[in-house]
């Protein structure tokens, strides 16, 4: 795995660019540093995205290398200025450079005291500074040369093969020597006018390098000497044959003055070998035009050959050369510069040839450097390594925390049964989008309808959220018993009757049950879900569920479809396939329930069953008469026509399903409805799906639990037990369970109590998570609307299903200007606590088929709380809608009441312009506002100052009459203008 820093260097991109790209791709690298290790997927993603940048960088580097090679071939001209601060020179005698053991003699006889500059080049001409001893008995003649005149030409030998064992390097002086027997006559100071220096400066390696050969090249035009500024004399020195002489010790070298820490490291054998090979190649290339010097010859280079000699000298000083015996150059005399002009002649720009760079050598050196760096890192101290590991661990921990926070933000913690409204609040999306998503999935849900776990998972996944059911441990705490095949016995089918309002659902059940349920329903419409067990003439049983047909009872229909085995869809033959019929069909299809169509009211004269079948065929529901798979039956619920045939078809479908259950086990089923009875307490209508429910069993249903005290059937007859597919009314729960909850039976009451408490705690946490607080955006939206209203409602009802339906209907009335909040809903009569809550939250109380207690009524009168009581859901919805419309600000509309044409104008002093008009249309009132129109353009809008007919003031003038009028604060009235009279009317807003 590569590190992020290495990869961004290769790809030629920045760190922030790489981190942002990886985050976009889904890789969490927040706080990533250059030392972050990348996975293969991350590395491949970066290379695929920014590979072009890498190729661009590689092409740029290749172009740079080609440019460097091209520049290396060009001669480089370098001019070096000589330091003008010239020290005094002490002449000590002749140095015999031919002696092969000169180096050893220097070591034995102590070298002269020389203070060397700190920075030296291994192959460069450097100044050697010598100071005369004030105590010395020898006579020295010193001459101070001015800075402008101290220039001489000192060049390296043109022949690279002439290498001496010891060599004096000097950049600013040459030492004039004679034989040992000669006295020291004088010492002149000379400086080099042209000095060839190599590119790299390195330190002097040791004291053995102090004395090194000095090569002097004399120009052939004339010999030069140093001119004394005081005497203006010229002394010309000629180079003579060298005479062997012994070395005379003058002084000692103070090695303590040398900074050992700045000395360069010794070259390796490989570096020395490469330098020798390079020197040999250059010597082979240049051997054709060189003069070969032997011992005892005078170095005589012509002016034409000077550039070549200078180049050779530069090369010789750059690299060490192999020693070749017999070839040497002696220095016998030193020549001085005669004058400025002769010095300037030799001051010419020279060329330095840079050797060609070998790519293999460069690559090898790069590898060696990287290897040394790696070795250095390996040998790092333990403390640094520990600190680095600690930093990386902290960084990884922080990255893991950031990733965990991001992941947690997309995880919804919820209970299994969450309403659509609560789910929308948790995901911070409009509830309409949740409902629309469910519609697209084939599920028809309302705002307060509770969704099962599978639906929640699908909907949350659509919006990019993951779900985590916190009630999992509660669900797992209930162990389901596996039924054996031999224990299963056939059970009666559960049939749900669904359809539109007034299409005859309850009438059909009344005929089957030989009773009159409709008479007990307010308004003659079903507002409760009913469960009935019917025994047929042949002894077979069918359990019917009657569902409301009103649009507000969507959740009830969905609940009925979920617990049923077969669905009967009733359609009136004298009507059409209505919206609630379509919804009921969709509920049954979504639950995977077989459908039997019952076409009702065929006894009516305007009945048209074929039209209903055609409409069903258009919805892709072909009945068997039309070659489809859905059974249908034409019936009359009131007269009983076709009802036996319908029941036969239902039983046929039931036989195909092969419905079985095990009665010899603990009961389990669903809660159909729950309510609060004043004499009985909390009661619940349940449908047993499996097992047998007995009096005395401990039941847990949702957040409610209790021991069953008594059970009643649908005819209100007390029973002691209920088998599979049997509806029953149970007493003894400590609360009203929510319709749709599943119930289970436990052996001990404390087990049910613990689970109920856990569920209640989870429900409380759920309500806190879904409570939506007022945000700045919402406040800004309300201020922008200007007339925003809130209507807080407390809903109390007789049964849980009705409360749910009414709450959904009220929430649907919310608009942008008026928001309906159901702050509390519960079953039972209106109590004093409900009134106090309404007073605290400025709410109204809506009672559905319940009455307030005596204390609640008195408290409501005292607190001036509005309590509305309803028995029909239509009335409750319509009245609340009217109340909301009354809260809306009315709209102001203009209504034109008359049109006048100006026939003549009169100007009266102190009054203004009076217009004589004819009323063309409508009538003009004295209180009407007017609009002056000229050539179709409104000129002025204002009010009338006066309205007269003849000389009398009048309140109004009808069409066809003439009148005189004066416009308040306006006199620019012309003949031919049109005056339009209008009134502003307030129009009540509707929802």
pLDDT in tens, 783-807: 887 777 888 899 998 888 788 888 8
Which alpha helices (H) appear in 156-233, and where do they start and end?
A: none
Calculate mean pLDDT across residues 482-504: 81
CA 312 to each of CA 212, 289, 776: distance values in angstroms, whole numbers, following the listed order: 18, 11, 85
Three-class secondary structure of residue 755 per DSSP: helix
pLDDT-derived band at 933, boundaries 50, 70, 90: very high
Is 114 marked within a binding site? no
If one compares 748 and 528, the residue with the highest pLDDT of the two is 748
Is 350 marked within a binding site? no
Calculate mean pLDDT across residues 877-894: 80
Three state DSSP letters for 901-933 = EEEEEEEECCCEEEEEEEEEEECEECCCEEEEE
Is 502 marked within a binding site? yes
- For domain 785-887, which architecture applies? 3-Layer(aba) Sandwich (3.40)
Is 679 marked within a binding site? no
Residue with tokens 């180096």: 103
The answer to whether domain 492-658 has CATH 3.90.1660.10 is no
Quick one: pLDDT at residue 610? Answer: 87
pLDDT reading at 185 higher than 50: no
Calculate mean pLDDT across residues 385-401: 87
pLDDT-derived band at 112, boundaries 50, 70, 90: very low
pLDDT-derived band at 218, boundaries 50, 70, 90: very low
Strand-pair partners of 792: 821, 843
Is 419 marked within a binding site? no
Average pLDDT over all residues of the chain: 73
- Report phi then psi at 685, rounded to 5: -90, 120
Lowest mean pLDDT among 460-474, 593-607, 673-687: 460-474
Quick one: pLDDT at residue 298? Answer: 42
Quick one: pLDDT at residue 380? Answer: 53
pLDDT-derived band at 233, boundaries 50, 70, 90: very low
Quick one: pLDDT at residue 903? Answer: 93
Strands (DSSP E) contained in 90-186 are 152-153
Calculate mean pLDDT across residues 220-245: 48
Is 548 marked within a binding site? yes
Is 499 marked within a binding site? yes
Calculate mean pLDDT across residues 583-607: 83
Quick one: pLDDT at residue 158? Answer: 41
Q: What pLDDT digit, counting tens, does each position of 517-532 carry?
A: 444 445 445 455 677 7
Is 546 marked within a binding site? yes
Lowest mean pLDDT among 231-235, 265-269, 370-374, 448-452: 231-235
pLDDT reading at 395 higher than 70: yes
Quick one: pLDDT at residue 554? Answer: 59
| CA R_g for the chain | 57
Q: Rounded distance, CA 28 to CA 620, Å?
A: 49
Quick one: pLDDT at residue 800? Answer: 82
Q: Are the C-beta atoms of residues 180 and 219 closer than 8 Å to each other? A: no
Instruction: Look up the CATH superfamily of 891-987.
Output: Translation factors (2.40.30.10)
Lowest mean pLDDT among 168-182, 410-424, 941-955: 168-182
Is 550 marked within a binding site? yes
Question: What percentage of the chain exceeds 90 in pLDDT?
Answer: 8
Quick one: pLDDT at residue 940? Answer: 93
Pairing of strands 843-848, 867-870: parallel
pLDDT reading at 988 higher than 90: no
Is 549 marked within a binding site? yes
pLDDT-derived band at 479, boundaries 50, 70, 90: low
Lowest mean pLDDT among 24-28, 825-829, 841-845: 24-28
Q: Rounded distance, CA 756 to CA 477, Å?
A: 11
pLDDT reading at 84 higher than 50: no
Lowest mean pLDDT among 1-10, 69-78, 850-859: 69-78
Q: What pLDDT digit, counting tens, does each position of 706-727 carry?
A: 999 999 887 788 888 888 888 8
CATH number for domain 411-470, candidates 3.90.1570, 1.10.3470, 1.10.10, 1.25.40: 1.10.10
Q: What pLDDT digit, counting tens, does each position of 645-667 carry?
A: 888 888 888 888 888 888 888 88
pLDDT reading at 741 higher than 70: yes
Q: Domain 668-766 - what CATH class?
A: mainly beta
Candidates 199, 193, 212; CA nearest to 318 is 199
Calculate mean pLDDT across residues 731-740: 85
Residue with tokens 């390097």: 169
Calculate mean pLDDT across residues 205-220: 39
If one compares 567 and 58, the residue with the highest pLDDT of the two is 567
Q: What pLDDT digit, counting tens, does each position of 128-142 carry?
A: 444 434 443 443 334
Is 504 marked within a binding site? yes
Quick one: pLDDT at residue 663? Answer: 85
pLDDT-derived band at 251, boundaries 50, 70, 90: confident
Calculate mean pLDDT across residues 601-627: 86
Lowest mean pLDDT among 288-302, 471-485, 741-755: 288-302
Candidates 241, 238, 206; CA nearest to 97 is 241
Is 415 marked within a binding site? no
If one compares 643 and 82, the residue with the highest pLDDT of the two is 643
Calculate mean pLDDT across residues 844-857: 89
pLDDT reading at 221 higher than 50: no
Quick one: pLDDT at residue 905? Answer: 92
Quick one: pLDDT at residue 38? Answer: 80
CA 633 to each of CA 361, 572, 596, 597, 645: distance values in angstroms, whole numbers, following the listed order: 98, 12, 8, 6, 7
Calculate mean pLDDT across residues 9-35: 79
CB proximity list for 949: less than 8 A, separation 6 or greater: 957, 961, 962, 963, 964
Quick one: pLDDT at residue 980? Answer: 93
pLDDT reading at 155 higher than 60: no
Is 500 marked within a binding site? yes
């Amino acid at each position: 795995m590569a590190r992020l820093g290495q990869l961004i260097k290769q790809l030629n991109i920045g760190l922030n660019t790489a981190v942002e790209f990886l985050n976009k791709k889904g890789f969490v690298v927040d706080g990533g540093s250059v030392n972050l290790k990348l996975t293969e997927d991350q590395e491949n993603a970066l290379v695929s995205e920014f590979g072009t940048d890498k190729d661009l960088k590689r092409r740029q580097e290749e172009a740079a290398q080609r440019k460097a090679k091209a520049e290396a071939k060009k001669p480089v001209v370098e001019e070096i200025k000589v330091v003008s601060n010239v020290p005094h020179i002490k002449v000590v005698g002749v140095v015999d450079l031919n002696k092969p053991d000169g180096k050893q003699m220097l070591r034995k006889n102590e070298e002269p005291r020389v203070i060397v500059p700190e920075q030296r080049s291994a192959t460069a001409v450097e100044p050697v500074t010598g100071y005369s001893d004030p105590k010395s008995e020898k006579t020295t003649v010193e001459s101070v040369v001015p800075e402008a005149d101290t220039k001489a030409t000192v060049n390296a030998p043109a022949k690279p093969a002439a290498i001496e064992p010891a060599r004096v390097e000097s950049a600013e002086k040459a030492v004039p020597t004679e034989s040992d027997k000669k006295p020291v006559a004088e010492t002149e100071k000379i400086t080099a006018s042209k000095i060839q220096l190599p590119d790299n400066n390195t330190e002097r390696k040791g004291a053995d390098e102090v004395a090194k050969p000095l090569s002097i090249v004399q120009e052939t035009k004339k010999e030069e000497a140093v001119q004394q500024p005081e005497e203006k004399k010229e002394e010309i020195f000629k180079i003579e044959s060298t005479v062997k002489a012994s070395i005379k010790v003058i002084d000692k070298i103070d090695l303590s003055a040398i900074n050992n820490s700045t000395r360069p490291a010794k070259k390796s054998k490989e570096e020395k070998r490469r330098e020798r090979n390079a020197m040999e190649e250059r010597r082979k290339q240049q051997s054709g035009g060189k003069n070969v010097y032997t011992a005892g010859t005078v170095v005589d280079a012509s002016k034409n050959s000077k550039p070549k000699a200078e180049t050779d000298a530069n090369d010789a000083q750059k690299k060490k050369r192999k020693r070749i015996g017999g070839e040497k150059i002696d220095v016998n005399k030193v020549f001085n510069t005669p004058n400025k002009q002769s010095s300037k002649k030799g001051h010419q720009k020279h060329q330095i040839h840079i050797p060609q760079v070998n790519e293999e050598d460069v690559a090898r050196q790069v590898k060696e450097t990287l290897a040394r760096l790696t070795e250095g890192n390996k040998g790092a101290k333990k403390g640094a390594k520990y600190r680095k590991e600690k930093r990386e661990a902290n960084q990884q921990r922080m990255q893991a925390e950031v990733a965990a926070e991001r992941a947690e933000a997309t995880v919804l913690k919820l209970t299994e049964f969450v309403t659509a409204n609560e789910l929308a609040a948790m995901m911070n999306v409009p509830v309409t989008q949740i409902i629309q998503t469910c519609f697209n999935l084939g599920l028809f849900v309302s705002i307060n309808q509770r969704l099962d776990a599978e639906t929640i998972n699908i909907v949350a996944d659509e919006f990019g959220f993951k779900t985590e059911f916190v009630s999992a441990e509660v669900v797992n705490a209930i162990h389901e018993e596996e039924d054996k095949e031999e224990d299963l016995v056939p059970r009666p089918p559960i049939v749900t009757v669904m359809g539109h309002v007034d299409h005859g659902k309850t009438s059909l059940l009344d005929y089957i049950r030989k009773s009159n349920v409709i008479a007990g329903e307010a308004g003659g419409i079903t507002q409760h879900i009913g469960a009935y067990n019917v025994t047929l003439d042949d002894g077979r049983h069918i359990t019917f569920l009657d569902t409301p047909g009103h649009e507000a009872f969507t959740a009830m229909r969905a609940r009925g479809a979920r617990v049923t085995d077969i669905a009967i869809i009733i359609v009136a033959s004298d009507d059409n396939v209505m919206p609630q019929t379509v919804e009921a069909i969709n509920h049954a299809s979504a639950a995977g329930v077989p459908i039997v169509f019952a076409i009702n009211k065929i006894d009516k004269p305007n009945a048209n069953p074929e039209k209903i079948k055609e409409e069903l065929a258009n919805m892709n529901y072909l009945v068997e008469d039309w070659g489809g798979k859905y059974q249908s039956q034409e019936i009359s619920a009131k007269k009983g026509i076709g009802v036996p045939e319908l029941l036969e078809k239902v039983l046929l479908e039931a036989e195909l399903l092969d419905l079985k259950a095990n009665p010899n086990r603990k009961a389990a089923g669903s809660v159909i409805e729950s309510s609060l009875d004043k004499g009985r307490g909390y009661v619940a209508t349940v449908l047993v799906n499996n097992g047998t429910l007995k009096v005395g069993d401990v039941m847990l249903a949702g957040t409610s639990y209790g021991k069953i005290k008594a059970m009643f059937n649908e005819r209100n007859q007390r029973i002691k037990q209920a088998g599979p597919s049997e509806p029953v009314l149970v007493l003894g729960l400590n609360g009203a369970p929510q319709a749709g909850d599943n119930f289970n039976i436990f052996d001990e009451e404390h087990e049910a109590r613990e689970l109920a408490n856990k569920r209640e705690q989870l429900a409380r946490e759920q309500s806190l998570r879904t409570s939506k607080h007022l945000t700045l955006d919402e406040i800004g939206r309300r201020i922008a609307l200007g007339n925003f209203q809130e209507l807080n409602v407390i809903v109390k009802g007789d049964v849980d299903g009705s409360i749910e339906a009414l709450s959904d209907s009220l929430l649907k009335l919310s608009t942008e200007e008026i928001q309906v909040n159901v702050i509390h809903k519960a079953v039972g009569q209106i109590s004093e606590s409900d009134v106090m809550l309404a007073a605290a939250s400025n709410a109204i109380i809506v009672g559905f088929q319940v009455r307030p207690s005596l204390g609640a009524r008195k408290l409501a009168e005292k607190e001036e709380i509005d309590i509305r009581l309803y028995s029909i859901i239509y009335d409750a919805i319509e009245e609340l809608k009217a109340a909301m419309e009354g809260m809306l600000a009315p709209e102001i509309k203009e209504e034109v009441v008359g049109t006048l044409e100006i026939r003549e104008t009169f100007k009266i002093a102190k009054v203004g312009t009076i217009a004589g008009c004819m009323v063309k249309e409508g009538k003009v009132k004295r209180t009407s506002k007017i609009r002056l129109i000229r050539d179709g353009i409104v000129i002025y809008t204002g009010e009338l100052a006066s309205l007269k007919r003849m000389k009398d003031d009048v309140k109004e003038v009808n069409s066809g009459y003439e009148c005189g009028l004066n416009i308040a604060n306006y006199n620019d009235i012309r003949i031919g203008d049109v005056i339009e009279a209008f009134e502003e009317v307030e129009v009540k807003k509707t929802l």
